[in-house]
């Protein structure tokens, strides 16, 4: 299959992101002498402005990276934790809820993006905070172009804004209507200027730390805490206050940890975040898939079937074993011996149940809510819309995510998947110009599970950036938005590149698929036992074959699934970049 774009190549640096302005910002930083970390941070702030329906300043950011001095993959965790007052008893029994609402203030965790980005900049970048924030501040104050999805997203929630979230109406409606061509965010620009004013100190690092302090122990924390005391309408259809306090903000900071590096065959390994994310799903799945075959850049029916069944097994383990609230047997889950046991469960037809394994002989336990499938995903959202912001027939609001990858000539490489704080997630805080995220909706309101709601713990996020290593050398950085689909669309890309022999762009363009046969991570968290969403470019014969095997196939259209980004090094002195062609917004570039 001929790619619709060419892989971008250059000797000095390469970047890919879900928005062309994010990518151009990263390239401009590299051209000015910044490194990959400076470029990624600058792009990350720009994405908060130009893709506000997909991420925002009140969200979170995980990243996986290597430095020029150290090729061992590390993970930055910019995922905030549940407030001290967020207990199962408080939310389930006190408010009478079965799941944490997907919108409003009750689902807010500590916003981690600011500290995550600034920690990465302080420790591995070279630019000042003012330098990396300048492009985003310019777009917020002076105006930014609206990509096609923003206005329709605002339109779906405009009435809700007018009736229940007036501060969001004031921020996002112009003359009572959604903006159409461009927009400005003056309150957010003013907040960033105040943070820059607070960034004083004798060194670049001290200035960055002062700005971190102004957010988590200064005026930003004070405004967030005050705003959370007022009940607001959320996804439950009722009004609830937030549980986040200034003390919650002051006690938290972003952290580093070693990446989980797993051999997946053919000399390749993948580096991922730990089981507080869904990151280990990809290496688990890859260990189960054997002999993937491609015909002219398109996966065969047998390859799709086996990949889907493998992913279902890995996601069943995610439901039973992943989280930050109990011990996770991750060593066993990623072991070759365990993979061999699980691989034997893949048959010639689709299986219709959740089948978590028994690592170390332990009995799996699924949340009672998760164990019961629904006819749809649970919120009325089905098919191709599941990966983009959507409002269902029941009025539940979904959000999505952005992504950025950067590599430089020195050997620095970073992959980041910022998310949360979407404009439709919770009301805008008027004094700050942004809203909080709702990542706590991924906790279960049952005690004793790895992903149970526990104060001070991280929600089991879907955010899942990736590095690929060949014979121990960092070669690829990649990822995509898409919630539960992130590691499935990355699976499609990985197989097309490593098994299909396609370059980065052709691998991204190769037809994709994903399963919906496991519980959604987003409220109200339904699932479809045999659900399989595919791109029609797989071919009519392949779709018919998959249906014969028992899959409930939904044809999403020819170009519908994934917003993949990727950069790479190796194969000479040139660095490489590629980006999604489906959205019409993503971009890759090299210099």
Distances (CA, A) of 18 to 165, 479, 486, 552, 564: 28, 10, 13, 30, 8
Instruction: Report the C-alpha gap between 47 and 536 in whole angstroms.
Output: 30
Instruction: Report the C-alpha gap between 473 and 292 in whole angstroms.
Output: 23
Model pLDDT, residue 374: 62
Instruction: Report the C-alpha gap between 179 and 423 in whole angstroms.
Output: 13
Low-confidence residues of the chain, pLDDT below 70?
Answer: 1-4, 371-372, 374-399, 523-524, 571
CA atoms within a 13 Å half-sphere pointing along the CA-CB vector of 514: 27
Q: Is cis: bond before 524, omega within 30 of 0?
A: yes
- Tokens 């005050």, residue located: 226
SS3 sequence, 439-485? HHHHCECCCCCCCECCCCCCCCECCCCEEEEECCEEEEEEECCCHHH
Instruction: Report the C-alpha gap between 397 and 278 in whole angstroms.
Output: 22
CB-CB neighbours of 176 under 10 Å: 9
- Tokens 């020195």, residue located: 410
- Ramachandran quadrant class, 482 (left: phi over 0; alpha: psi -120 to 50; beta: rest): left
Asked whether 60 and 437 are in contact (CB, 8 A), the reply is yes
CA 290 to chain centre: 27
Token pair recorded at residue 574? 């040139």
Instruction: Give the residue extent of every domain in the chain.
Output: 37-256+410-442, 259-397+475-573
**Contacts of residue 190, Cβ cutoff 8 Å, sequence gap at least 6:** 433
User: What strands lie across the sheet with 260-265, from one edge to the other?
Assistant: 8-10, 575-579, 565-568, 473-479, 466-470, 268-272, 260-265
Instruction: Report the C-alpha gap between 193 and 527 in whole angstroms.
Output: 44
pTM, full prediction: 0.95
| Longest pairwise C-alpha distance within the chain | 68
Model pLDDT, residue 164: 97
Closest CA to 467 of 258, 259, 257: 259
Instruction: Report the C-alpha gap between 56 and 434 in whole angstroms.
Output: 7
Model pLDDT, residue 371: 67
CA end-to-end distance (rounded Å), the chain: 27
* CATH number given to 259-397+475-573: 1.10.246.130
CA atoms within a 13 Å half-sphere pointing along the CA-CB vector of 582: 26
Token pair recorded at residue 320? 């039973």
Model pLDDT, residue 4: 64
């Amino acid at each position: 299959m001929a790619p619709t774009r060419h892989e971008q190549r250059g000797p000095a640096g390469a970047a890919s992101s879900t928005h062309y302005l994010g990518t151009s910002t990263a390239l401009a930083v590299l051209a000015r002498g910044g490194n990959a970390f400076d470029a990624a941070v600058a792009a990350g702030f720009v994405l908060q402005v130009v893709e506000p329906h997909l991420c925002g300043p009140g969200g979170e950011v995980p990243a996986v990276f290597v430095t020029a001095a150290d090729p061992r993959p590390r993970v930055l965790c910019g995922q905030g934790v549940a407030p001290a007052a967020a207990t199962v008893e408080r939310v389930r029994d006190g408010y009478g809820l079965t799941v944490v609402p997907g919108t409003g203030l009750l689902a807010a965790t500590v916003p981690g993006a600011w500290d995550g980005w600034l920690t990465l900049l302080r420790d591995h970048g070279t630019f000042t905070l003012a330098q990396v924030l300048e492009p985003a501040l310019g777009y917020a104050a002076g105006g930014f172009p609206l990509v096609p999805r923003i206005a329709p997203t605002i339109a779906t929630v405009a009435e809700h804004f007018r009736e229940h979230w007036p501060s969001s109406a004031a921020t996002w409606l112009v003359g009572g209507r959604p903006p159409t061509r461009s927009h400005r965010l003056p309150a957010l620009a003013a907040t960033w200027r105040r943070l820059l004013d607070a960034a004083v100190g004798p060194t670049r690092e001290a200035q960055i730390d002062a700005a971190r302090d102004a957010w988590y122990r200064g005026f930003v924390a004070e405004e967030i805490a005050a705003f959370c005391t007022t009940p607001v309408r959320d996804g439950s259809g009722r009004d609830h206050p937030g549980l986040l306090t200034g003390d919650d903000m002051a006690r938290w900071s972003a952290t580093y940890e070693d990446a989980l590096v797993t051999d997946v065959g053919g000399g390749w390994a993948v580096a991922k975040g730990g089981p507080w994310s869904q990151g280990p799903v990809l290496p688990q799945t890859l260990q189960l898939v054997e002999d993937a075959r491609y015909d002219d850049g398109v996966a065969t029916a047998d390859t799709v079937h086996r990949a889907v069944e493998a992913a279902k097994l890995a996601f069943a383990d995610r439901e039973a074993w992943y989280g930050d609230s109990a011990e996770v047997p991750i060593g066993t889950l990623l072991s070759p011996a365990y993979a061999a046991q699980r691989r034997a469960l893949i048959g010639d037809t689709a299986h219709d149940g959740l089948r978590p394994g028994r690592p170390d002989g332990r009995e799996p336990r699924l949340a009672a809510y998760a164990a019961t499938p629904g006819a749809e995903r649970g919120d009325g959202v089905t098919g191709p819309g599941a990966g983009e912001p959507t409002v269902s027939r029941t009025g539940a609001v979904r959000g999505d995510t952005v992504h950025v990858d950067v590599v430089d000539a020195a050997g620095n490489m970073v992959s980041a998947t910022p998310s949360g704080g979407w404009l439709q997630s919770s009301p805008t805080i008027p004094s700050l110009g942004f809203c909080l995220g709702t990542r706590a909706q991924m906790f279960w309101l049952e005690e004793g599970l790895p992903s149970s709601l526990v104060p001070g713990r991280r929600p089991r996020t879907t955010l899942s950036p990736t590095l690929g290593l060949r014979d121990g050398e960092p070669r690829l950085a990649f990822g995509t938005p898409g919630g539960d689909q992130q590691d499935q669309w990355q699976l499609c890309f990985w197989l097309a590149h490593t098994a299909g022999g396609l370059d980065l762009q052709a691998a991204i363009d190769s037809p994709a698929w994903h399963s919906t046969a496991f519980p959604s991570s987003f409220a109200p968290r339904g699932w479809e036992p045999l659900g399989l969403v595919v791109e029609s470019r797989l071919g009519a014969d392949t779709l018919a074959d998959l249906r014969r095997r028992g899959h409930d196939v939904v044809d999403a259209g020819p170009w519908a699934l994934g917003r993949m980004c990727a950069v790479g090094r190796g194969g000479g002195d040139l660095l490489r970049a590629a980006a999604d062609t489906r959205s019409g917004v993503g971009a890759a570039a090299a210099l």
